[in-house]
Structure 1
């Protein structure tokens, strides 16, 4: 059977998503989903969908939703690519901009763990750049790659890299820089304008986080028309379905709901930060909808395991750089207090055990 499967695929370690536990008693803080409801306009448009339209193929280039994005960002529609989640956009960037013979993909370590998987699928070299002990970065002298994925704010570290430093890197980098802004609506700064200033920059965004629409799988990127046209050449024939296009369109028009959601997340982020610090956690200054924290004894792995026993789900990433930390999604205030109660129980047991 193995001879039917590419050798590189046989050797591949696939992407490992966060668990999706079910049940009303589960406190789910492990996949950076939004605990608040999306725009009511989404509810309305779903009721208005013409069932006959579902018998037809969707618009292959997402014209109407791209018009909304273009107006929101004051860019041309020809500068926008729409995809089946931002993950599709990332995958297409490797296929479009990285030669299989001699090309390479760069990214920070730690960062989004899908990047090396996408590179390995395409049989291209990966060139990770290790972050320092404070999760900051300095590019090595003479560093090159065909594409560099720069997540800003970064995941899982939650930190925002200064725009000035990002721009300095863009100006000196010979390849394509994909600035992944999945969490930018929770941050104090964006690099979107770099996508229109520099021909080697794409800025990628998603509706999964700040729009509370992870289930529809819609993402997009903005950049030079030549780069965007290359992505359209190689995308699947009808890559974004009709329902997703309509839901994305009305959600992107409802600025008020998105702003209310992000404000609520920021407020809950502050509460969770204060509660965890009171328990002795080292909390990095987050500009995302999650926290990257270093817990006290009994340590990250043990706390992760004990929380899971109590139906509280967070993320722990094994490894030298990440193993001492936990990533915790910012949930509702009620979820935060349930997390705190569970942690108080765990830490109390840990102290009594010595």
Structure 2
């Protein structure tokens, strides 16, 4: 007999992208990490935190600031948002979990387009919530069925993963205003690689929150840092469901330092975008159907699910990790994170070999 709640016993866990063993010689293009290091100020801030006190690392015996004020103040300076309208999380994933705990009860409904970030489904199952998934069309335009759908929360990743497509701010505003008793969560994990963002909606609309992560543009996936921006009333309510000390001392110092070096982040993102555009052209020249991307990855369709899975396995055998999703509407494609120019050249050469050999 299981001691778990029935919904937890029945659910499948979230499966992250494959992590190669330490020391493995692979080119890792499967989890959308930034190929370039974070600002030098990050390491300086971490060293300063470790060196503070009467002995090296002495301050680690103390709890971190539960309010992460240094991080939130830096975010306020960076965005112009008031500090009391910013909340911190252990990655944006924890902020998604807080939103689910705070707003969605058992049997209540969340909605999102499909395919998108799989964690939304996992979190819904944890809450025993109902899910309304609305299929994207082939061009990944925002489905009209989400408007006025009556869900407690509508999740929209913009740019979306795994497609890389982004949604116009005015369209997202119309969506928010159509949700009379619902919250619109705009997940902007990849927005620093895009031409626009929707952060203004979290200032102007009473039912919109915007999430950001440090894992992509700030090159801090290993520090687990995220931010939520929203109306004061919503942010104040979320403090009730936040873990007390959800960020450690080093993460707070690292995130604040990175936010105070925006030029470094912008330069890294510009390098990634330039490589993305070059890679998209090269993939298209190989005959793949490449979706227009506003993120740090590309989604490229092949002619069949068999061919896409074959390409994934062929590349893996040659030390190139990309992401293949054996799922409805995705199984004919490959999601490819943007690495350095040299890494992308290696990928293109291997993919060219696979396609030239007529591999099935």
What TM-score does the superposition give when structure 1 sets the normalisation length? 0.96
Note if contact 2:148-2:178 (Cα within 8 Å) is conserved in structure 1: no
- 1:207 matched to 2:214: yes
Please point out which of 347, 351, 358 is paired with 1:350. 358
> 1:5 Cα shift?
2.2
Secondary structure at 2:2's aligned position in 1? helix
Partner of 2:163: 157
Partner of 1:10: 9
What do residues 151-183 of structure 1 show as CA deviations (whole Å, max 9, x unaligned)? 001111100111111111111112011100000
In 2, Cα distance between the equivalents of 1:318 and 1:24?
25
Partner of 1:138: 143
> 1:24 Cα shift?
5.2
Query: Alpha carbon RMSD of aligned pairs, Å?
Result: 1.4
Please point out which of 73, 80, 86 is paired with 1:80. 86
Partner of 1:305: 313
Change (3 A) 1:167 1:142: closer
In 1, Cα distance between the equivalents of 2:297 and 2:209?
24
Partner of 2:324: 316
- 1:115 matched to 2:120: yes
Q: Which moved more, 1:270-279 or 1:83-92?
A: 270-279
Partner of 1:29: 29
In 2, Cα distance between the equivalents of 1:69 and 1:48?
20
Partner of 2:177: 171
Please point out which of 92, 97, 101 is paired with 2:98. 92
Secondary structure at 1:277's aligned position in 2? helix
Secondary structure at 2:58's aligned position in 1? helix
What do residues 100-153 of structure 1 show as CA deviations (whole Å, max 9, x unaligned)? 2x4211111000000010010111111112111221123327511001111001
In 2, Cα distance between the equivalents of 1:31 and 1:274?
22
> 1:63 Cα shift?
0.7
- 1:230 matched to 2:230: no
* Alignment gaps of 5+ in structure 1: none
> 1:296 Cα shift?
4.5
In 1, Cα distance between the equivalents of 2:47 and 2:233?
38
Equivalent residues, number: 350
In 2, Cα distance between the equivalents of 1:237 and 1:131?
38
Partner of 1:288: 295
Note if contact 1:271-1:333 (Cα within 8 Å) is conserved in structure 2: no
In 2, Cα distance between the equivalents of 1:45 and 1:74?
23
What do residues 268-325 of structure 1 show as CA deviations (whole Å, max 9, x unaligned)? 1012112211211111111000001112576211111111111111111112211111
- 1:62 matched to 2:68: yes
Please point out which of 250, 260, 283 is paired with 1:253. 260
Secondary structure at 1:67's aligned position in 2? helix
> 1:25 Cα shift?
2.6
In 2, Cα distance between the equivalents of 1:296 and 1:138?
25
Note if contact 1:130-1:137 (Cα within 8 Å) is conserved in structure 2: no
Please point out which of 106, 111, 123 is paired with 2:111. 106
Partner of 2:18: 19
In 2, Cα distance between the equivalents of 1:232 and 1:225?
11
Secondary structure at 2:110's aligned position in 1? strand
In 1, Cα distance between the equivalents of 2:302 and 2:219?
28
Note if contact 2:297-2:336 (Cα within 8 Å) is conserved in structure 1: yes
Note if contact 1:94-1:105 (Cα within 8 Å) is conserved in structure 2: no
In 2, Cα distance between the equivalents of 1:86 and 1:24?
28
Secondary structure at 1:193's aligned position in 2? helix
In 2, Cα distance between the equivalents of 1:296 and 1:108?
24
